[in-house]
Structure 1
Amino acid sequence: MSGLGATAPADGGPIRTAVVGLGWAARSIWLPRLERHPAFAAAAAVDPDPAVRATAAREHPGPALLASVDQVRPEEIDLAVVAVPNHLHCAVACALLERGVPVFLEKPVCLDSAEAARLAEAERSGGAVLLAGSAARCRADVRALAELAAKIGTVRHVDVSWVRSRGIPSAGGWFTDRAKSGGGALVDLGWHLLDVLTDLLGPVAVDQVVGSVTDDFLHDGAWRAVWRKEAPTAAGGDVEDTARAFLVTGNGVSASLRASWASHEPRDVTAIRIEGSAGTAELRCTFGFSPNRDGGPVLTLTRDGEPEAVAVPDEEIGAEYHRQLDELAALLADPAARGRAVADATRTIGVIERVYASAARTRR
C-alpha cells in the first residue's frame, strides 16, 4: 500500500470503486458514471437494506452487493464513494479510512467542526486519503468564469446564489431534519457555492460573517422537488429553506451568498458575479439536475460599461460529475492530495457554523 492507501490494481487496470449508500445520488449520479468512465470499475454497491440492494441490482447488475462497509476491503477496493445520508458521512468515512480504504465523500463532508477533526485523524491514522469537493467547480461554465476572472484586475467582491423555484428535497424526510442533515439549503446548496467561492478566491480565511435564515416554504408540500421522483411525504422540518450571508475575507474581499430551496422565482437560477478593479464577470446558469431551467449558461464580461458575451462550451446536464471523476483519478495518485479535502471542509463548515450562529442571534 502506498502512502495514500491502495490507489489502483497492481495490473494497472481501472480503479475498483465501491459506492456506499444506494439512494438517489448513488443510483442516478455515481453508479451510471462509474460504469461509463474508462478509469473506473463499479466493483461493489453497499447498503444495509436488502430491498434497496435488490433495486440497485436490477438497475446496475455489475457491482457486488454488500450489506456493510465492514465488507469493503482495501485489497479489493481502491476507492469508496460515500453517498449515505448526511449524519452518517463522518462515521462511514472514518470507518473506511481507518482500515486503509481511500474515500471520496459527498458534500456535506461534515456537519460540524468536530466531525472535520475526526476525519482528519482517520486520514492520518489509516494511511488512506480523503477526497471531497463539489462537482460544481468542474462545470465547463464555472471553469470559463474562473479564467475570465483573470481579466478583471483585483477581485473586490463576489456574489454567489443558487435559487430554486420549487425544490425542497425529501420534504418531511431526513433532508429537513436538522439532526440528520446538519441544516437546510445552506448545507445542501450553500456547500456547492462555498466550494466554488474557494475555487475562485483560493483558501483564504474568512474574518467576518453575518447571516439570516428563513423557512417560508418548508411547511407546504407544494414546494418539494418533484423532479427527484421521490414518494411524497409530509411537509415540514426544523431547517431553513433559504439562507443569506455576507462574508469578508482576511484580504478584504467581500462575498454575498444566497441558497434557496424554494422561492417565488419562475426558474431555478445559479448566478455568480465577480467584481474586479478592471471589470466584472458574471455567469448565469442552473446547477444540479432540475429541469426547471432557462436554456444554457450565459457568461458576460463587462468593462468600461460595455458588456461582452463570452462563449461557453455546450455540455449535457451532469457532465461535471464525469469531469470530477477525471480529477479523482488524478488525485488518488497525487501525494499532495493528503489533507487537502479536510482543510477545505474545515474552512467551509466553519463558515456555515458562523452563518447559523449569526442567524440564531437575530431570528425571531
Structure 2
Amino acid sequence: MKTGAADGGGAMETGGDVVMVGAGWIARQGYLPAFARLGWRATCFDTGDDPAGRAALGQAIDLARRSGAAPLCIVATPNASHLALAGAFLATGCRVLVEKPACLPWEVETAAAAALPLERLFVSTPFRFRPDVVRLIEAVAEGTVGEIRSVEATWRRRSGIPRPGSWYTARRLSGGGVLADLGPHLLDTAMTLLGWPEMTVLAARLTAAADAQTDGGASTWMAAGAADDLPLDVEIAADASWRDARGRDLRLHASWHDDVAADATVIEVAGTRGRLRLDTLFGFAPGPSLGRLSGTVDASIPLRRQPSADFARMLRLVQQGRAATGAQGLAVMRLIAGAYDRGGVVSPGTAATDVPR
C-alpha cells in the first residue's frame, strides 16, 4: 500500500478503504503509519482555502459519495474546519472519524441543532483504548473503589506548546489553547469513568500565554511552519471543575508549559472504598513506556507508545462501531465551552475559513 502526504492539493492514491482530508502533523505521524500497519488502502487529500485545496476537497467528497468507494472518511484538518467537513462527509452516507475537537467551543449548539447522524460520527480519542487506561476503566467498573465520588485528570507538559504562532495557538482557528488541545483526551477518559452524565461547570481558571513565561516552551517534536506568525492568544494552562446531579466531581488540570521535571498524565478516581491512580503519559512526546496503577489495584502495564499503534487500535474500533461517538465528542466540547465561558473567554463567534497550514 502506498501512503503519504499528497503533493500540493491533489490526491495521493485513488480508491481504497479510507478517504482522508488533511496532510498535517497528525495525518503524517498518526494516520498514515496506522494505515500501513493495518494494511488499509487510503486516498489522502491535502485541502486548504486556495484553488488547489478547494478542488481537492471537491474530489474527496465526490469519491466519498460513490457507493462503496469509501466506507470511512477521516477529517484530519485544522480545528476550524472539523464540524463543516464532518457534516459534508456525513451527508455522503459514509461513516466519519473527525480529529478532536469535534467542533469549536462556540459551535456546540450549532452542531446540536444540525441534527447530524451521530451514529455514523466518531471522534479521535486514541488514549481511551490504550491498555493502561482500559485496565483503569475495568478496575473501576469492577467496583474496586466503590461508588465514584470524584475523578481528577491531569496532563502536564514541560515544553509542549504546539508551534507557537501557528493556527494551533490562534483562538480563531483552533478554538482555544491547552484546554481545547489536551482537554478532550482527559475529559473523554474521565467521562467514560463517570458514565457520561450531564455536568455543570463549577469553576475555571485559564492562564493566558500573555500572562506567562513561554520562552523555551515550544514542543520539540513538532517542527515550525514556514509562516508561524499568528498571534499567540490562547491559554497555556487550564484548571476547571464540574459536578453532576449525584454530586460527583470532575477536576481537570492541563498545561503546555509547566514547571515539571518531565511530561506526565495522571488520572485519579476517588470512591467510597478507596482511591485508584494511573500514572502514565498521553501523547507522543518522549516519556515512559509503562502505565502504573496504584491504590486499590497495583499493576504495571507495558505500553507501545507509538502513534501508529495507538491510531491503528482506534481505527479498528471505529470499524467495529466501538470508538468514541459523535455524541460523546459533542458532550466533551460542551464541558469545554462551559469552562471557557466561566473563565471569561470571549468567543470569536464564527469559525475561520482561511486556515493556514
Q: What residue in structure 1 maps to residue 280 of structure 2?
A: 285
| Structure 2 residue ranges without an equivalent (≥5) | 1-14, 346-357
What is the TM-score when the length of structure 2 is the normalising length? 0.81
Shift in CA distance, 175/329, structure 1 to aligned 2, threshold 3 Å: same
How far apart are 1:122 and its partner, in Å? 6.1
Deviations 1:287-328 (A, max 9, x none): 00001x2452211124xxxxx631314434333222111211
Alignment match of 2:334 (pick from 350, 354, 361): 350
Structure 1 residues 316-325 or 263-272, which shifts more?
316-325
Structure 1 counterpart of 2:44, which letter? A
Q: Is the contact made by 1:211 and 1:356 (CA closer than 8 Å) also made in structure 2?
A: yes
Q: Deviations over 1:67-90 (max 9, x none)?
A: 543333332211111000000101
Specify the alignment match of 1:209 in structure 2. 202
Contact 1:17 1:77 in 2 (8 A): yes
Q: Is the 8 A contact 2:82 2:98 kept in 1?
A: yes
Alpha-carbon distance, 1:157 to partner? 1.1
Unaligned runs of at least 5 residues, structure 1: 1-13, 54-64, 303-307
Which residue in the other structure is 2:131 paired with? 140
**3-state SS of the aligned residue for 1:151?**
coil
Secondary structure at the aligned position of 1:71 is classed as helix
Distance 1:129 1:117, change over 3 A: farther
Assess, with a 3 A threshold, how the Cα gap between structure 1 residues 119 and 341 changes in structure 2: closer, same or farther. farther
Superposition TM-score, scaled by structure 1 size: 0.80
Shift of 1:35: 2.0
Secondary structure of 2:122 counterpart:
strand
The alignment of Structure 1 onto Structure 2 pairs a total of residues equal to 320
CA distance in 2, matches of 1:216, 1:177: 11
Conservation of the 8 A alpha-carbon contact between 1:174 and 1:180: yes
Partner of 1:323: 313
Amino acid at match of 2:283: G
Please tell me the root mean square deviation across aligned C-alpha atoms, in Å: 2.8
Q: Is the 8 A contact 1:165 1:266 kept in 2?
A: yes
Distance 1:355 1:115, change over 3 A: closer
Q: Which secondary structure does the structure 1 equivalent of 2:77 belong to?
A: coil
Mapped to 2, the partners of 1:27 and 1:177 lie a distance apart of 22
Matched, 1:297 2:297: no
Could you tell me whether the CA contact under 8 Å between 1:301 and 1:310 is conserved in 2? no
Q: Report the Cα distance in structure 2 between the residues aligned to 1:272 and 1:70, rounded to whole angstroms.
A: 39
- Contact in 1 for aligned 2:269/2:276 (Cα 8 Å): yes
Partner of 2:222: 228
Distance 2:61 2:230 in 1: 35
- 1:163-207 Cα distance to aligned partner (Å, 9 max, x none): 100000011010111110000000000011111111111110103
- The percent identity for this pair of structures is 30
Q: Cα gap change, 1:299/1:47 in structure 2, threshold over 3 Å: closer, same or farther?
A: same
The residue aligned with 2:7 is none
Question: Greater relative contact order: 1 or 2 (C-alpha under 8 angstroms, separation 6 or more)?
Answer: 2
Aligned to 1:96: 89
The residue type paired with residue 80 of structure 1 is C
**Structure 1 residues 216 and 85: alpha-carbon distance in aligned structure 2, compared to 1, 3 A threshold:** closer
Deviation at 1:221, TM superposition (A): 4.8
State the 4+ residue runs in structure 1 displaced beyond 6 angstroms: none
